[in-house]
Amino acid sequence: MVAEDRFAWHEAARLFAGEQEIARTADWPSGDGFRALAASPARDALPALAQALGASAPFALSDHPLPKSLNCPPGYFLTLTGGASGHPKAVRRSQASWIASFLVNAERFGLSPSDSVAVLGQLSHSLSLYAVLEALHLGLDTHVLAGQSPRAQAVRMAEVGATLLYATPTQLRLLARAAQNALPSVRLVLCGGGALDAATKAAMQTLCPHAAVYEFYGAAETSFITLSGEATPAGSVGQPYPGVTLRLVDDAGRETSGPGEVWVKSPYLFDGYALGDSADTRRRDGFVTVGEMGELDAAGNLWIRGRRKRMVQIADQTVFPEAVEAVITAQGYVCAVLPRNDALRGQHLVAVIEGKADPVEKAAILSACRAELGALVSPRELLFHPELPLLPSGKTDLRALSVWLEGQS
């Protein structure tokens, strides 16, 4: 029987950093004081994480040195998040808040020690850390492939016969492009950390022909909020994850049946920030919001419109850059859309496409945007970038891209 309030390394689970197996030891260091651990390289981070688990100690994995004053009580841990445009924040949550969803996933997806999990991202990202801790807790072999090229990751997944894959849409896109052969052993793909576009989902279904592909929506502060299924309409992030209650709130703070700010109540919520803060994150009556805007359809499917902090005003019309990004990614491109000041309209949008400049593709992308979104909302400019900068989470680094964009004018 797995523990309900502390992470554990199940005796059936093996742990690998690439090809290197992390040895299990019976002589765990004592002491349950807080441990600040370097998140990379994985071959060093994983033994340190294993020691923290063995000692039932609170911990945080970070790409950068943490303040010496940072602390966390036993039974809790910290995940680091900065999003695409904010300063780093340390999210404090109970270990039980993640374990509760481990048990839900084990039942829903039939997870067992016969499975093996591939994790593509850095351990500093909460999605990767979640995948590792869930697998170890439930007894699944765990293969952390962070730092390897997408082609090498695909080769290793084939070698070990990985059956489960946790990844962001960007990581899936890169894996599908780089893999030279199909991965028939994969039976389940769990995608989070961004919108999964139809082109990437189709590419993964080709790469992993026997896999069910699920998209989940959530945040570091909330963990799971919704989960998609086979019946989920394209563009929706699905229905509430088991145990989750959703509420949409309008600008006046009233619950609404129309578009509004997404508030969530569940056993999976965070405890608070141990470092930093966010004006978008608020609590009320047991519910939490991180400033995401959305809408529920008649069937209870959630449609995310975008982050409140990314909203822009174009000629008095509220526009979400995410809506433009969705149109472009649906055409098979990797992109990011950023606002720029406009003396006439207040702001306008610029789209940055990953790849080599191509005037024919540029015209086709802009034409598709105008046809679906109208001239006002569509990008006024479209630029090409050889490789969009990424955060450790696998999301586009919008701050770095904005600096690059300033240099293009």
- Domain with 339 in it: what CATH number? 3.30.300.30
Which residue, of 282, 305, 328, is where some domain finishes? 305
Per the domain annotation, does 270 fall within a domain? Answer: yes
Which residue, of 274, 305, 336, is where some domain finishes? 305
Write out pLDDT tens, residues 371-408: 999 888 899 999 999 999 887 667 788 888 989 988 88
Q: What is the pLDDT of residue 279?
A: 86
- Is it the case that residue 28 has pLDDT exceeding 80? no
Say whether both 298 and 318 belong to one domain: no
- pTM of the entire predicted model: 0.84
Write out pLDDT tens, residues 98-143: 999 999 999 999 999 999 999 999 999 999 999 999 999 999 999 9
Q: What is the pLDDT of residue 85?
A: 45
What's the structural domain count of the chain? 2
In what helix (H) or strand (E) does residue 16 lie, and over which residues does it extend?
A: strand 15-17
36-53 in b/e form (b: 16+ CB < 10 A) is: bbbbbebeebbbbbbbbb
Q: Verify cis geometry, omega within 30 degrees of 0, for the bond prior to 379.
A: no
Say whether both 299 and 316 belong to one domain: no
User: What range does the domain containing 391 cover?
Assistant: 311-406
Per the domain annotation, does 393 fall within a domain? Answer: yes
Say whether both 255 and 337 belong to one domain: no
Per the domain annotation, does 1 fall within a domain? Answer: no
Q: Give CA–CA dist 18/204, Å, rounded.
A: 22
Per the domain annotation, does 35 fall within a domain? Answer: yes
Q: What is the pLDDT of residue 156?
A: 98
Pair 301, 236: CB distance under 8 Å:
yes
% of the chain exceeding 70 in pLDDT: 95
Say whether both 238 and 169 belong to one domain: yes
Say whether both 295 and 367 belong to one domain: no
Of the pLDDT bands very low, low, confident and very high (cuts 50, 70, 90), residue 1 is very low
Beta partners for 262? 248
Pair 378, 408: CB distance under 8 Å:
no
Say whether both 264 and 318 belong to one domain: no
What region, left, alpha or beta, does residue 396 occupy, with left being phi > 0 and alpha being psi -120 to 50 degrees? Answer: beta
Say whether both 56 and 123 belong to one domain: yes
Which residue, of 246, 275, 305, is where some domain finishes? 305
Q: What is the pLDDT of residue 39?
A: 94
CATH number of the domain residue 265 falls in: 3.40.50.12780
In the numeric block, which tokens belong to residue 200? Answer: 């990437």
Which of 78-82, 195-199, 348-352, 387-391 reaches the highest mean pLDDT?
348-352
